[in-house]
């Protein structure tokens, strides 16, 4: 599917790349991201404008006229956001990088024709978390200033296997992740559902404790720290 781009009416100066923080096949769709962001984070729509599946197929997300919601205060205005599905560095695909690069080209060319030079960044440049986890500068051919002046290297990483069953998904999506996970771990532990160390990492013990608490309180035992669970545990601020 060719990537077609028409600039929105709002001013744009930067393009940001993200990763989805999951490697599960059932999460490889923008509809799942929308559900996490709307029902998990309480936002009005998915935070990204484009989602790139492991196959390289892209899907439209948030309306381009709206600023992204996933980058942190002060870094949403004037930007466009792209998310590649994946969590583990080695599980992103060259097809995804190829699509990401065609987005970089189309967007930079469209603005270049208007005399605007777009910079391309990773989320981690403006927010203290490892996102995207892939080597986006090499994969997309970006220089240190974020301009696409180099040759992209689609083979910088390739996936074997592409999909993994990871216990780290979902909660990692929430901004301020580690502190929130620590609060969740404390809340579960205080209620008699120990998570092991209060380390801010949403691993297997935390997930198991959350499942046990959900079951004990008559909720569906999803292991997902969804909005309703966070409110009930008193960790949603
Ligand atoms: Zn991100």
Residues listed for the chain? 237
| C-alpha of residue 179 to centroid of ligand 1, in Å | 17
pLDDT at 170 over 60: no
Q: Please give the Cα distance from 198 to 206 (Å, whole number).
A: 9
Over residues 138-158, the pLDDT tens digits come to 999 999 999 999 999 988 766
What the chain holds in terms of domains, given with CATH numbers, is 14-140 (3.40.80.10), 178-232 (no CATH)
Question: What is the DSSP annotation of 16-57?
Answer: EEEE-S---GGG-SHHHHHHIIIIIS--SS-S-SEEE-TTS-
| C-alpha of residue 234 to centroid of ligand 1, in Å | 25
To the nearest whole percent, how much of the chain has pLDDT over 70? 89
pLDDT score of 175? 41
* CA-based R_g, the chain, Å: 18
| C-alpha of residue 218 to centroid of ligand 1, in Å | 33
| C-alpha of residue 191 to centroid of ligand 1, in Å | 32
Rounded average pLDDT over 229-233: 89
Query: CA quadruple 87, 91, 95, 100: dihedral positive or negative?
Result: positive
| C-alpha of residue 16 to centroid of ligand 1, in Å | 8
pLDDT score of 27? 87
| C-alpha of residue 201 to centroid of ligand 1, in Å | 17
Structure tokens at 194: 């120990």
pTM: 0.73
| C-alpha of residue 20 to centroid of ligand 1, in Å | 7
Over residues 37-64, the pLDDT tens digits come to 887 677 889 999 999 999 999 999 999 9
Q: Please give the Cα distance from 8 to 46 (Å, whole number).
A: 17
Phi, psi of 50 (to 5 degrees): -140, 145
| C-alpha of residue 125 to centroid of ligand 1, in Å | 10
Q: Which of 64-78, 138-152, 210-224 has the highest mean pLDDT?
A: 138-152
| C-alpha of residue 19 to centroid of ligand 1, in Å | 6
User: What is the rounded (10 degree) CA torsion for 104, 39, 190, 199?
Assistant: -10
Please, which residues have CB within 8 angstroms of residue 187's CB and are 6 or more apart in sequence? 233, 234, 235
| C-alpha of residue 192 to centroid of ligand 1, in Å | 33
Rounded average pLDDT over 166-186: 63
């Amino acid at each position: 599917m060719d990537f077609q781009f028409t600039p929105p009416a709002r001013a744009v100066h930067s393009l940001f790349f993200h990763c989805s923080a999951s490697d599960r096949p059932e999460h490889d769709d923008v509809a799942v991201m929308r559900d996490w962001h709307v029902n998990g984070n309480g936002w009005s729509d998915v935070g990204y404008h484009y989602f790139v599946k492991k196959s390289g197929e892209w899907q439209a997300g948030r309306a381009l006229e709206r600023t992204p919601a996933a980058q942190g205060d002060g870094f949403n205005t004037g930007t466009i956001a792209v998310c590649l599905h994946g969590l583990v560095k080695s599980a992103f695909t060259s097809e995804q990088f190829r699509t990401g690069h065609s987005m970089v080209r189309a967007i930079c060319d469209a603005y270049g024709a208007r005399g605007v030079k777009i910079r391309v960044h990773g989320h981690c440049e403006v927010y203290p978390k490892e996102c995207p986890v892939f080597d986006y500068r090499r994969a997309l051919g970006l220089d240190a200033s974020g301009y696409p002046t180099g040759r992209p290297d689609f083979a910088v990483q390739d996936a074997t296997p592409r999909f993994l069953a990871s216990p780290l998904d979902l909660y990692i999506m929430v901004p301020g992740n580690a502190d929130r996970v620590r609060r969740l771990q404390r809340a579960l532990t205080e209620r008699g559902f120990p998570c092991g160390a209060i380390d801010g990492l949403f691993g297997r013990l935390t997930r198991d404790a959350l499942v046990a608490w959900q079951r004990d309180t008559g909720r569906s035992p999803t292991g997902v720290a969804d909005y309703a669970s966070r409110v009930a545990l008193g960790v949603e601020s």
